[in-house]
C-alpha cells in the first residue's frame, strides 16, 4: 500500500533507534484495547486457570500488535498533518527516516495476523477486521478520518468492541454470548464521544489539511456537547439492560459512575477546548471502570446460564 507523498524534508538517512520505534507505536494508546480485552476475558464467565498463555497472547495482540499497527499506519499517513500539530513526532521530525514508518506498519500488520491465526479462527477474523479498519481509517483512498463521523466510529469499534469480543472469544473458543456482544457494542458507540474529545488537540492542523473532525465541522462547543451525549446514552442503555437481566447491583454501580461523569461533563462544557484533555484523563477513567463493572455482571449471567 504505497503512497506517492514525499518524505518530510527533515528526514535523514539511516535506521531509526529502538526508542524512536517505541515512540511511533505509542504504548500509551495500548491501554484502551488491552483493558477492553480484559473485560472480554472477565465477561466470558470462563476460569482463567490453564488459559493464561492464551490470555497473555491476546493482550499482546490487542495492544502491542493491533493497536500499535494502527498507530504506525496513522503516523505514516498523517505525517504532513503532524508536521503542523506535532512536529516532534518521529516521522515529521526525521527521527524515523525515509519510508521506515510505512515498513513498520506493514511488518506489524503481518505479525499481528500471525499471532491472531495461532489463537483461532474467531480471533483471526476479529484481528483482520480491526487491521482493515486501521488501514482504511488513515490511508487513501477511503481515509475514514477525513470525516469525524466515520473515523471516530471505526476507532471506537477497534478500541472497545473488537478487543472485548476477542477476549471473550479467546476464552470461549467460540462466538461469545449475545449479551456480551450487545454490551461491547454499546461501549464502542460511547467511545465515539471519547474520540471526538481527542480531536480537540489537533483542530488547527485538521482545518489546514482538510480533515473534517467533529470539532472542525461543528465547532468545539457543539462537538463537546455531542461527545457528552454520545458517551452518556450507551451507558444508560447498558444500565437498563443490566437491570432487565436482574443485575441491579451492577447497574447501580455503573449509574453511580455515570453520575460522576455527568458532574465532570458540566465542567468540561464550560471550556471544552481547554478541558478536553483533562476530561479524557478523568471522566474517561470512570467510563472504563464502568466497562469492568458490566463485565462482571455479564460473567455472573453467563455462569448462571451454564
Q: What is the pTM of this model?
A: 0.91
Q: What is the pLDDT of residue 13?
A: 55
Cis before residue 141, ω within 30 degrees of 0? yes
* Mean pLDDT of the residues in the chain: 93
Residue 130 domain flag: yes
pLDDT surpasses 60 at 7: no
Residue 263 domain flag: yes
Q: How many domains does the chain have?
A: 1
Residue 236 domain flag: yes
Which CATH number goes with the domain that contains 56? 1.10.600
Of the two residues 279 and 82, the one the predictor is more confident about is: 279
Residue 110 domain flag: yes
pLDDT surpasses 90 at 126: yes
Distance between CA atoms of residues 159 and 73, nearest Å: 15
Residue 136 domain flag: yes
Name the region of 246 (left: φ>0; alpha: ψ -120 to 50; beta: rest): left
pLDDT surpasses 50 at 90: yes
137-156 average pLDDT score: 94
CB contact at 8 A, 130 and 66: yes
Q: What is the pLDDT of residue 205?
A: 81
Q: What is the pLDDT of residue 293?
A: 98
pLDDT surpasses 50 at 278: yes
33-44 average pLDDT score: 98
Residue 206's domain comprises 18-305
Residues with Cβ within 8 Å of 57's Cβ and at least 6 positions away in sequence, in order, are 115, 118, 119
pLDDT band at 82 (very low <50, low <70, confident <90, very high): confident
Question: What is the b/e burial string over 121-140, where b = at least 16 CB atoms within 10 angstroms of the residue's CB?
Answer: ebbbebbbebbebbbbbbbe
Question: What is the b/e burial string over 34-53, where b = at least 16 CB atoms within 10 angstroms of the residue's CB?
Answer: bbbbbbbbbbbbbeeeebee
Residue 274 domain flag: yes
Q: What is the pLDDT of residue 1?
A: 39
Q: What is the pLDDT of residue 9?
A: 41
Residue 150 domain flag: yes
Q: What is the pLDDT of residue 209?
A: 82
Distance between CA atoms of residues 171 and 146, nearest Å: 36
Name the least confident of 73-77, 89-93, 205-209, 251-255.
205-209
Distance between CA atoms of residues 244 and 95, nearest Å: 54
pLDDT surpasses 70 at 11: no
Task: Please give the angle made by the CA atoms of 173, 178 and 179, to the nearest 5 degrees.
Answer: 115
Q: How far is CA 117 from the centre of its chain?
A: 21
Distance between CA atoms of residues 267 and 265, nearest Å: 5
Backbone angles phi, psi at 304, to 5 degrees: -70, -30
Q: What is the pLDDT of residue 81?
A: 84
Name the region of 139 (left: φ>0; alpha: ψ -120 to 50; beta: rest): beta
Q: Which residue from 79, 93, 99, 213 is spatially nearest to 148, judged by alpha carbons?
A: 213
1-25 average pLDDT score: 67
Residue 3 domain flag: no
Amino acid at each position: 500500500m504505497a503512497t506517492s507523498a514525499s518524505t518530510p524534508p527533515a528526514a535523514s538517512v539511516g535506521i531509526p533507534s529502538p526508542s524512536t520505534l517505541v515512540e511511533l507505536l505509542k504504548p500509551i494508546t495500548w491501554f484502551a484495547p488491552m483493558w477492553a480485552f480484559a473485560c472480554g476475558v472477565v465477561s466470558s464467565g470462563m476460569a482463567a486457570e490453564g488459559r493464561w498463555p492464551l490470555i497473555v497472547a491476546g493482550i499482546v495482540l490487542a495492544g502491542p500488535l493491533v493497536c500499535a499497527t494502527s498507530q504506525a499506519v496513522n503516523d505514516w499517513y498523517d505525517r504532513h498533518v503532524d508536521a503542523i500539530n506535532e512536529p516532534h513526532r518521529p516521522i515529521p521530525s526525521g527521527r524515523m527516516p525515509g519510508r521506515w514508518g510505512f515498513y513498520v506498519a506493514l511488518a506489524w500488520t503481518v505479525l499481528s495476523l500471525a499471532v491472531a491465526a495461532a489463537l483461532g479462527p474467531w480471533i483471526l477474523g476479529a484481528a483482520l477486521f480491526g487491521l482493515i479498519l486501521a488501514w482504511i481509517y488513515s490511508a487513501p483512498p477511503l481515509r475514514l478520518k477525513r470525516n469525524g463521523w466515520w473515523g471516530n466510529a471505526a476507532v471506537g469499534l477497534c478500541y472497545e468492541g473488537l478487543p472485548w469480543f476477542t477476549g471473550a472469544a479467546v476464552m470461549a473458543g467460540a462466538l461469545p454470548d449475545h449479551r456480551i456482544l450487545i454490551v461491547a457494542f454499546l461501549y464502542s458507540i460511547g467511545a465515539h464521544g471519547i474520540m471526538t474529545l481527542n480531536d480537540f488537540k489537533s483542530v488547527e492542523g485538521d482545518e489546514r489539511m482538510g480533515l473534517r473532525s467533529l470539532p472542525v465541522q461543528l465547532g468545539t462547543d457543539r462537538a463537546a456537547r455531542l461527545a457528552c451525549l454520545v458517551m452518556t446514552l450507551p451507558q444508560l442503555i447498558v444500565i437498563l439492560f443490566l437491570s432487565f437481566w436482574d443485575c441491579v447491583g451492577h447497574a447501580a454501580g455503573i449509574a453511580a459512575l455515570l453520575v460522576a461523569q455527568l458532574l465532570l461533563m458540566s465542567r468540561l462544557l464550560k471550556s471544552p477546548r481547554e478541558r478536553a484533555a483533562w476530561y479524557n484523563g478523568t471522566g474517561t477513567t470512570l467510563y472504563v471502570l464502568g466497562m469492568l463493572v458490566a463485565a462482571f455482571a455479564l460473567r455472573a449471567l453467563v455462569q448462571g446460564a451454564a
